[in-house]
């Protein structure tokens, strides 16, 4: 059974093609101003990579911010359920999913059987999300993709006290004016993101992961799955591991976990 999962996020659109629960291909593009067309284009690109035709698809599941606008999908699923499904499928021991996307932070607690037990998300505020980091990269004149590597070279992270995107930008500007190194400012920003996310994660840790000290020290044994575009940033991952005191499991392509999960949510052929 050939299924496509299309995740129309606020910043990036991701499509994953699976056949009988195996990933064939994926494609990611910026969502831009025409989410419907971009969604169709990622589908087209992914199909091309997989060497399949649109007509061969049995089912299309849409998810993400723009899921309701994707009229060519058979069904639309909320991304919270989709990312949970994707994470659990990629990493069996997952009990807690942390997903940081372009504008959303989602923390999802899973029962031992993989069903969703509880979840929390950010409200309107964009603090700690991908677009927060995007704005900071712009303020510092670096590429978004460089943030992770740059912060890795920091010796002494600066303290960025605010979590608000707008205020943090002015704080960054004043740190730059005081002659602070870019890498230290970026490392400080990553810590600020980690603290914001940790405040959402901590209330759910006890029930899902238990006492963090008893956690195995390897990422592969971790019960905490880190997904979303921001999970590609090693600096955020390191900072989050430090604040939470545990290792995170991150798949090879954390950005497409939600699209994969959506595809896996297609009803089985009857």
Partner 1 sequence: MATKPSSPPTTQHLKPADPRIVAHLKQEIEYLAKNNGGIQGLNYFYEVFKEVYGNRVRELEQAKRDGKKIIGTFCNFVPEELIIAADAIPIRLVCGSQEPILPAEEVLPRNFCPLIKSSYGFTLTGFPHFDLADVIIVPTTCDGKKKLSEMLSEVKPTWVLEVPHTTETPQARELWLKELKLLKKQLEVLTGNKITGKKLKAAVQLLNKKRAATRRLYNIRSGQTPKIWGRDALMVTNLGLYDDPVRWTERVNKLCDELEARTQPVAPPDAPRIMLTGSPIVMPTWKIPVLIEESGGIIVVDDVCTGSKGLWDPVEVSHFTMIDMLIGLADKYLMNTCPCFTPNTARMDRIFALAQDFHVNGALYHVLQACHLYGMEQLRVERALSELDIPVLNIETDYSQEDVEQIRTRVEAFIEMIQSKRAVKTGQPTSRPQPVVTKPVVKPAAPQDDGTPLADRILKPPGQA
Q: Which residue among 21, 121, 161, 170 contacts partner 1 (CB under 8 A)?
A: 121
Q: Are 257 and 86 in contact (CB under 8 A)?
A: yes
Residue closer to partner 1 by CB (options 27, 222) is 27
Q: Determine how β-strand 22-30 pairs with β-strand 12-19.
A: antiparallel
Instruction: Examine residue 81 and tell whether it contacts partner 1 (CB under 8 A).
Output: yes
Instruction: Examine residue 36 and tell whether it contacts partner 1 (CB under 8 A).
Output: yes
Instruction: Examine residue 47 and tell whether it contacts partner 1 (CB under 8 A).
Output: yes
> How many C-beta atoms surround the C-beta of residue 53 within 10 A?
10
Q: Which of 121-129, 148-156, 163-171, 189-197 is the region at the interface with partner 1 (rule: CB under 8 A)?
A: 121-129
Structure tokens at 177: 């004016």
Q: Are 198 and 237 in contact (CB under 8 A)?
A: no
Instruction: Examine residue 51 and tell whether it contacts partner 1 (CB under 8 A).
Output: no
> Which neighbouring-strand residues pair with 62?
6, 76
49-to-45, 46, 54 alpha-carbon distances in Å? 6, 5, 12
Radius of gyration of the chain (CA): 19
Q: Which of 74-82, 147-155, 192-200, 235-243 is the region at the interface with partner 1 (rule: CB under 8 A)?
A: 74-82
Q: Which residue among 177, 179, 218, 270 contacts partner 1 (CB under 8 A)?
A: 270
Q: Which residue among 19, 23, 89, 118 contacts partner 1 (CB under 8 A)?
A: 118
Phi, psi values for residue 168, rounded to 5°: -60, -35
Q: Which residue among 111, 159, 170, 216 contacts partner 1 (CB under 8 A)?
A: 111
Residue closer to partner 1 by CB (options 62, 239) is 62
Report the nearest approach of partner 1 to the CB of residue 123 (Å).
Answer: 5
Instruction: Examine residue 119 and tell whether it contacts partner 1 (CB under 8 A).
Output: yes
Residue closer to partner 1 by CB (options 58, 143) is 58
Instruction: Examine residue 113 and tell whether it contacts partner 1 (CB under 8 A).
Output: yes
- b/e per residue 182-216 (b: at least 16 CB within 10 A): bbbbbbbbbbbbbbbbbebbeebbeebbeeeeebe
User: Where are the strands (E) in 20-161, listed by range?
Assistant: 22-30, 59-63, 75-76, 96-100, 105-110, 116-121
Phi, psi values for residue 109, rounded to 5°: -95, 130
Q: Which residue among 19, 23, 29, 78 contacts partner 1 (CB under 8 A)?
A: 78
Q: Which of 91-99, 109-117, 168-176, 235-243 is the region at the interface with partner 1 (rule: CB under 8 A)?
A: 109-117
HSE at residue 78, side-chain half, CA atoms within 13 A, is 8
> Which neighbouring-strand residues pair with 116?
110
> Which neighbouring-strand residues pair with 248?
none
Q: Which of 13-21, 55-63, 89-97, 175-183 is the region at the interface with partner 1 (rule: CB under 8 A)?
A: 55-63
Instruction: Examine residue 29 and tell whether it contacts partner 1 (CB under 8 A).
Output: no
Instruction: Examine residue 54 and tell whether it contacts partner 1 (CB under 8 A).
Output: yes
Contacts with partner 1 by CB under 8 A lie at: 1, 36-37, 40-41, 43-44, 47, 53-55, 57-60, 65, 68-69, 71-75, 77-81, 104, 111, 113, 115-121, 123-124, 266-270
């Amino acid at each position: 059974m050939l299924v496509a999962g299309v995740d129309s996020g606020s910043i990036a659109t991701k499509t994953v093609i699976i056949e009988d629960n195996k990933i064939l291909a994926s494609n990611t593009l910026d969502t831009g101003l025409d989410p419907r067309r971009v969604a169709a284009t990622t589908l087209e690109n992914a199909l091309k990579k997989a060497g399949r035709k649109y007509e061969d698809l049995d089912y299309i599941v849409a998810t993400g911010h723009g899921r309701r606008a994707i009229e060519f999908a058979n069904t639309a699923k909320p991304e919270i359920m989709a990312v949970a499904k994707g994470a659990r499928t990629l990493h069996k021991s997952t009990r807690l999913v942390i997903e940081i996307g372009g504008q959303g932070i989602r923390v999802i607690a899973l029962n031992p059987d993989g069903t969703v037990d509880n979840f929390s998300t950010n409200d309107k505020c964009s603090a700690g999300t991908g677009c927060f980091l995007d704005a900071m990269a712009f303020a510092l004149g670096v590429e978004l993709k460089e943030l992770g590597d740059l912060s890795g070279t920091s010796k002494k992270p600066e303290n960025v006290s605010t979590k608000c995107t707008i205020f943090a930008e002015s704080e960054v500007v004043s740190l730059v004016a005081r002659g602070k190194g870019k890498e230290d400012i970026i490392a400080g920003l990553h810590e600020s993101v980690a603290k914001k996310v940790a405040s959402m994660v901590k209330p759910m840790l006890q029930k899902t992961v238990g006492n963090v000290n008893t956690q195995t020290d390897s990422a592969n044994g971790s019960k905490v799955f880190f997904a979303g575009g921001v999970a590609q940033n090693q600096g955020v991952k390191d900072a989050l591991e430090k604040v939470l005191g545990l290792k995170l499991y991150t798949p090879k392509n954390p950005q497409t976990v939600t699209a994969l999960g959506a595809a896996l949510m297609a009803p089985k052929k009857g």
